[in-house]
Structure 1
Amino acid sequence: TDGDVISTKHLPDHCVTAQFNEKARFSLRGELKTLADIEKEYLKWAVTHFQGDKKQLAEKLGLGERTLYRKLKTL
């Protein structure tokens, strides 16, 4: 399975169809952000958007709850 990988199928439509802006792609120093950093930022946003309902969040992201909890531990 791809339980450790977040792909576009796990993202809301507005994230997939929207173009990334400069803030999303680059750090303050103008360097390209790593995928891991972008994933962390997205997970932080998603947690606040779902107001702590991790079961619903995991479902919406297409992740198992254990995978989600493991990813959240890295935040």
Structure 2
Amino acid sequence: MIAILSRFLFIPAFYFCAKYGDKGWMILLTSLLGVSNGYLTVCVLTVAPKGYKGPEQNALGNLLVLCLYVVYLQE
């Protein structure tokens, strides 16, 4: 939960970097945003099915992967 909420700090960081910073800071912020996005996605995909047992666990894992795939296809 802290990792998700801390991503809101990227909003003012990107604003001040775009206004006052140079390209190096923007590259660093973009890289950190991408890494945190990947990390949080993996956390959700691995933790969410653990709350279920049996066939529901497998079905939920498959549903999460399908939803992630559909979202990436729309981009």
TM-score by length of 2: 0.32
Greater helix fraction, Structure 1 or Structure 2 = 2
| Higher relative contact order, structure no. (Cα contacts within 8 Å, ≥ 6 residues apart) | 1
Looking at CA atoms only, which structure, 1 or 2, has the larger radius of gyration?
Answer: 2
